[in-house]
Amino acid sequence: MASITLQGITKRFGDVTAINDMTLEIADGEFFVLLGPSGAGKTTTLRLIAGLEAPDAGVLRMNGEDITAAAPARRDCAFVFQQYSLYPHLSVYDNIAFPLRAPMRRIDEDEIRRRVERVAAMLHIEATLQRKPTALSGGEMQRVAIGRALVREPRVYLMDEPLSSLDAGLREELRVELKRLQRASGATVVYVTHDQVEATTLADRIAILEHGRIRQVGTPSEIYDQPMSLDVAQRLGSPAINVLPAAWFTGSADPHASHVAIRPEDVVLAPDDGSQSYAVIECSLVKHLVVAERSGVEVRARTMLDQALVPGARVRLSFPPERCMFFDASGRRLAAA
Amino acid sequence: MAEIRIQNLQKRFADFTAVHNSSLVLEDGKFVVLLGPSGCGKTTTLRMIAGLEYPTAGQITLDGDDVTYLRPRERDIAMVFQLFALYPHMGVRDNLEFPLRNEGVPRAEIDRRIKEVAAILRIEHLLGSRVGGLAGGDRQRVALGRAIVREPKAFLMDEPLGTLDAEFRELMCVELRRLHERLKTTTVFVTHDQNEAMALADHIVVMNKGEILQADDPHGIYNFPSCVFVARFIGRPPMNLLDVRGALEAGASQVVLDGHAVQVPVVQGTAARALLGARPEHVRIVAPDDGLAGRVERVEYFGSHWIAELHTEAGVLKALVDKNIRPSEGERVGLRFDTNRLVLFDADTERLVQSVTTNAHRPSMRHG
């Protein structure tokens, strides 16, 4: 197991700066999630840690040791990719055993058998060990791919969207399993995803990446409840956070505020009393969501209703002041009024 | 514009029945999703509508015309296999024109349609560009444009988003839905992904093992699942199912779980053995000495809420918990249920047992 430190790491591809002066400390045994849209630099960060790419500037350390120039094998990271890449001609057993049979490892077959069986039990794929990967379902194949990473007992696991090719049910099941495995083994995991559910449920800490830069690092609830910028506020939360004009909050808002943001579950829906009226655009009893509009601004409220509101119905919405977040014109968070 | 009717449709491959005796009316202008696990018969049904398979028995009509045994190109329906295959060496305009030139559409008509499609998809400024240089989202819109430029009566789509990476899949769902709002072309869309179904559908048809289990709007499918399979297939985490003690009698307004009695909507059916169905958002955590006693086994954080896994005498269940309450693992709690949202299933047939709430609901789609 290992801690990882990135210090001033920059990576360019031609004219494009994929990673821009990134500094990050990942603790030993931490489940660390890199969250961001595609093109943010998440995968490049993983590849830099693994040694599959070399940085143009900066220092990379593992357990304090400078490994910036070390070969990938010396770093001892196990990579799990989004698309499971298994050897179709080998059995599941041999696929999982494969990394242990590398000539430099010299592990005897009894030890290999012990480790493969232990990993297979953890992932509930004992029954498939003698089968070929092509005879497995997608979820089973991805378990085998994860198993092949786990069996090595490396210093660090690097996972690049390992669940995103699976359907919803399996994704949930494997997500829970991954977290359990990580807790039980105390492994350091760096996990890339664009899926906020994976981020908030798996992470000890999350780093929000955008355009090759880290926007904020914190625990899931710090990122969700205390975003330092508007784009971080918009990165987590489904449905997305409401961004309202500061003019709606005159008197209660900081004079420098140009946007006020409030989470849909914090918006309070009340029957219209004739004062402020919003017109319902959409109401979903499945998503527990009401979308309403006032002067061209859409507001989303997450609320449990027994009866659907019809589009066009008038409702009153209120925004509890203690739930509002204020941002200046550049999107920077302002202290509460 | 097209209404598609399927009557007593059946498809056998040797001794395997892919689709059992199905009847369904797909209303004009609706976005209908055929949803189910692999092997459920959804793709076979779609292929019969397209004319790529002929049924063993039954009839398909398009706006009243029998098309059951017409060849695919004799039906005015566009099958979209892969939304996202573009010719990389051609420009955007050529990619869009290609299907029309193939069909011998006159020049002036081609220009009219390209202009219209480009406006709908907001890609006018890209018409002169090469496909290779496009950003992901623009590329998807061009691919969509190539499907809609033919102006068919209906679109048939077989897991068109399946090969995309997860993020683009979500973006394309929004884009497809927006497009449908605009065009209102009858669309039949096959997927195994309930998120896609919920995001896109006016109507959802849930299939399993060659049978239609339920056909309704998303609200009906979610709140009044016709059977245990639908209840568990839709919704994440899935609906909780708890064993009810004793038989279910018509007129009952409560059921007994191990250790606790629960109020339910007045029962209008009967069952020798029953299951109580409760979605996680309809289970509420209350004080430990109130309701059904439970212990918090595990919590997961979702930002706007927590999902707690709870162990009780009546079984394991999951509850959606307000973000302002922080349940801790090992904590003892009480559980209450939102009476009006509860459903009951016959444990032997696994079918929904009627109650005052299920009877008040009118399904928005007809099937048999």
**pLDDT band (50, 70, 90) for residue B165:** low
Chain A closest-CA separation from residue B345 CA (Å): 20
Residue B289, number of CB atoms within 10 A of its CB: 8
| Residue numbers in B near A136 (CB within 8 A) | none
Chain A closest-CA separation from residue B222 CA (Å): 7
Chain A closest-CA separation from residue B109 CA (Å): 36
Q: B247-281: per-residue pLDDT in tens?
A: 999 999 999 998 799 999 999 999 999 999 999 99
User: Are A301 and A190 part of one and the same domain?
Assistant: no
List phi, psi (to 5°) of B345: -125, 145
Interface test with B, best of A16, A38, A241, A290 (most B CBs within 10 A): A38
pLDDT for position B169: 77
Pairing of strands B260-263, B254-257: antiparallel
CA-wise closest residue to A187 among A119, A110, A112? A119
Whether the predicted pLDDT of B222 surpasses 70? yes
Residue A248, number of CB atoms within 10 A of its CB: 15
Whether the predicted pLDDT of A138 surpasses 90? no
Mean pLDDT of chain B: 91
Beta bridge partners of A260: A244, A326
User: Are A76 and A130 part of one and the same domain?
Assistant: yes
The predicted model gives A52-64 an average pLDDT of: 96
Instruction: Among A199-203, B91-95, B230-234, B363-367, name the one with the lowest average pLDDT.
Output: B363-367
Q: Last residue of some domain: A233, A254, A288?
A: A233
CA B120 to chain centre: 25
The predicted model gives B17-32 an average pLDDT of: 95
pLDDT for position B127: 93
| Residue numbers in B near A161 (CB within 8 A) | 165-166
Interface test with A, best of B33, B35, B167 (most A CBs within 10 A): B167
Q: A106-123: per-residue pLDDT in tens?
A: 889 999 999 999 889 888
Residues in contact with A159: Cβ distance below 8 Å, sequence separation at least 6, in sequence order = A79, A80, A149, A189, A190, A191, A192
Q: B26-46: per-residue pLDDT in tens?
A: 999 999 999 998 889 999 999
CA distances from A12 to A9, A17, A19, A37, B135 (A): 10, 4, 7, 18, 19
Integer Cα distance of B124 and B269 in angstroms: 58
Cβ contact, residue pair B193, A285, below 8 Å: no
CA-wise closest residue to B48 among B173, B141, B156? B156
Whether the predicted pLDDT of A337 surpasses 60? no
User: Are A165 and A217 part of one and the same domain?
Assistant: yes
Chain A closest-CA separation from residue B63 CA (Å): 30
pLDDT for position A87: 92
Helix (H) or strand (E) holding A146: helix A138-150
**pLDDT band (50, 70, 90) for residue B166:** low
Beta bridge partners of B225: none
What is the CATH classification number for the domain harbouring A52? 3.40.50.300
CB contact at 8 A, A319 and A244? yes
Cβ contact, residue pair A237, B303, below 8 Å: yes
Q: What is the DSSP letter of A240?
A: P
By C-alpha distance, the chain A residue nearest B232 is A169
Residue of A308 and A165 predicted with greater confidence: A308
Whether the predicted pLDDT of B215 surpasses 60? yes
pLDDT for position B340: 94
| Cα-based angle B90, B91, B93 (whole degrees, multiple of 5) | 120
Integer Cα distance of A142 and A303 in angstroms: 36
The predicted model gives A126-143 an average pLDDT of: 88
| Tokens matching residue A114 | 């012990």
Integer Cα distance of A50 and A45 in angstroms: 9
User: Are A149 and A266 part of one and the same domain?
Assistant: no
A307 shares contact with chain B (CB less than 8 Å): no
Integer Cα distance of B18 and B100 in angstroms: 35
Integer Cα distance of A196 and B305 in angstroms: 13
Q: Is the dihedral of CA A122, A126, A127, A132 positive or negative?
A: positive
Residue B66, number of CB atoms within 10 A of its CB: 12
Cβ contact, residue pair A38, B165, below 8 Å: yes
From the list B193, B301, B322, the residue facing A200 with the nearest CB is B301
Q: Last residue of some domain: A205, A233, A261?
A: A233
Cβ contact, residue pair B166, A285, below 8 Å: no
CB contact at 8 A, A292 and A278? yes
CA B170 to chain centre: 15
Share of chain A above pLDDT 90, in %: 63
Q: What secondary structure does DSSP assign to B239-273, as a single string?
A: PEEEEPBS-B-TT--EEEETTEEEE-SPB-S-BSS
Q: Write the secondary structure of A165-183 as one string of H (helix), E (strand) and C (coil).
A: CCCHHHHHHHHHHHHHHHH
- For residue A236, give the amino acid letter: L
| Tokens matching residue B183 | 């065009």
**Where in the sequence is the domain holding A202, given as residue range(s)?**
4-233
CB contact at 8 A, B226 and B213? yes
**pLDDT band (50, 70, 90) for residue B1:** low
**pLDDT band (50, 70, 90) for residue B310:** very high
CB contact at 8 A, B226 and B232? no
Integer Cα distance of A118 and A121 in angstroms: 5
Provide the angle, in degrees to the nearest 10, between the axes of the packed helices B136-148 and B92-102.
20
| Tokens matching residue A126 | 């004992």
Integer Cα distance of B89 and B131 in angstroms: 7
Integer Cα distance of B241 and A3 in angstroms: 43
List phi, psi (to 5°) of B286: -125, -170
Interface of B with A (CB under 8 A): 136, 165-168, 192-195, 198, 218-219, 222-223, 236-238, 281, 298, 300-305, 322-323, 340
CA-wise closest residue to A155 among A210, A268, A78, A245? A78
User: Are A129 and A247 part of one and the same domain?
Assistant: no
Cβ contact, residue pair B281, A304, below 8 Å: yes
pLDDT for position A176: 87
The percent helix, strand, coil of chain A (3-state, each to 5) is: 30, 30, 40
| Cα-based angle B43, B47, B53 (whole degrees, multiple of 5) | 125
User: Are A196 and A109 part of one and the same domain?
Assistant: yes
A201 shares contact with chain B (CB less than 8 Å): yes
User: Are A156 and A39 part of one and the same domain?
Assistant: yes
Cβ contact, residue pair A263, B195, below 8 Å: no
User: Are A136 and A265 part of one and the same domain?
Assistant: no
ipTM: 0.86
A320 shares contact with chain B (CB less than 8 Å): no
Whether the predicted pLDDT of B83 surpasses 60? no
The predicted model gives B48-66 an average pLDDT of: 95
Whether the predicted pLDDT of A301 surpasses 80? yes
Instruction: Among A36-50, A65-79, B138-152, name the one with the lowest average pLDDT.
Output: B138-152
The predicted model gives A79-95 an average pLDDT of: 88
3-state SS class at B339: helix
CA-wise closest residue to A289 among A65, B125, A114, A298? A298
Q: Last residue of some domain: A182, A210, A233?
A: A233
CB contact at 8 A, A212 and A55? no
Mean pLDDT of chain A: 90
| Tokens matching residue B86 | 């573009």
The predicted model gives A284-302 an average pLDDT of: 91
User: Are A120 and A268 part of one and the same domain?
Assistant: no
Residues in contact with A21: Cβ distance below 8 Å, sequence separation at least 6, in sequence order = A8, A9, A10, A57, A58, A213
**pLDDT band (50, 70, 90) for residue A165:** confident
The predicted model gives B8-19 an average pLDDT of: 93
User: Are A67 and A148 part of one and the same domain?
Assistant: yes
Out of A78-82, A205-209, A313-317, B236-240, give the one with best mean pLDDT: A205-209
| Tokens matching residue A248 | 């709606």
User: What is the pTM for the complete model shown?
Assistant: 0.85
Q: What secondary structure does DSSP assign to B139-154, as a single string?
A: HHHHHHHHHHTT--SE
Whether the predicted pLDDT of B137 surpasses 80? no
CB contact at 8 A, B234 and B320? no
Residue of B329 and B133 predicted with greater confidence: B329
Whether the predicted pLDDT of B220 surpasses 90? yes
The predicted model gives A296-306 an average pLDDT of: 91
CA B48 to chain centre: 20
User: Are A134 and A162 part of one and the same domain?
Assistant: yes
Domains of chain B, start order:
4-223 (3.40.50.300), 238-360 (2.40.50.140)
Whether the predicted pLDDT of B97 surpasses 80? yes
CA-wise closest residue to B65 among B16, B17, B3? B3
End-to-end CA distance of chain A: 45
Domain count, chain A: 2
User: Are A124 and A37 part of one and the same domain?
Assistant: yes
Whether the predicted pLDDT of A229 surpasses 90? yes
CB contact at 8 A, B367 and B24? yes
The predicted model gives B93-112 an average pLDDT of: 91
By C-alpha distance, the chain B residue nearest A285 is B219
- For residue B39, give the amino acid letter: G
By C-alpha distance, the chain A residue nearest B219 is A286
Residue located via tokens 């909050």: A249
